Amino acid sequence: MKIKDYFENTKGLGVLSTADNHGKVNSAIYSRPHVMEDGSLAFIMRDRLTHTNTELNSHAVYLFREDSPEYNGKRLYLTKIREEQDPGLIDSLSRRRYPADKDRRESRFLVYYKLEKERPLVGDAE
């Protein structure tokens, strides 16, 4: 199954792990990535620690556990390639809707990653 189809059709819980330029790690719950036309993966981020880390260190890991009794899912090894702040594009991709006053208080970024390596959630298979 292609990664775009996988994330469009699979429900689960995702965790994005980033690190700053000193190697201090942060992990945060993130929804499924948006798979873009060029094959890059994109996440909508607020201006918080995860986003700050992406400015200091371009590498990240996204762990996704499928909603199932087994330990199925993926570990994606990522490298940041760019970001943008286009509100229209971010709104069109956003899966959640918040009240207009709350949604506009914080800056939002669309951060794009190149998929370097994909591994299963459990095990050493490549």
Mean pLDDT computed over 15-26: 97
pTM of the model: 0.89
* Per-residue pLDDT band at 101 (split at 50, 70, 90): low
Residue 42: which residues within 8 A CB-CB, separation 6 or more? 33, 34, 36, 93, 110, 111, 112, 113
* Per-residue pLDDT band at 115 (split at 50, 70, 90): very high
Question: Is 98's pLDDT higher than 70?
Answer: no
Tokens at 118, concatenated: 């994909």
Judge whether 47 and 109 are in contact, CB under 8 Å: yes
Mean pLDDT computed over 73-98: 89
Question: Is 8's pLDDT higher than 90?
Answer: yes
**Enclosing H/E stretch for 44:** strand 41-46
pLDDT at 94: 86
Fold of 3-120: Pnp Oxidase; Chain A (2.30.110)
Half-sphere exposure of 113 (CA within 13 A, CB side): 27
pLDDT at 23: 96
What are the Cα distances from residue 108, in Å, to 2, 10, 86, 88, 122? 28, 25, 9, 11, 32
Q: What are the pLDDT digits (tens) for 22-75?
A: 999 999 999 999 999 999 999 999 999 999 999 999 999 999 999 999 999 999
**Amino acid letter, 41:** L
Give Cα 26 to chain centroid, integer Å.
13
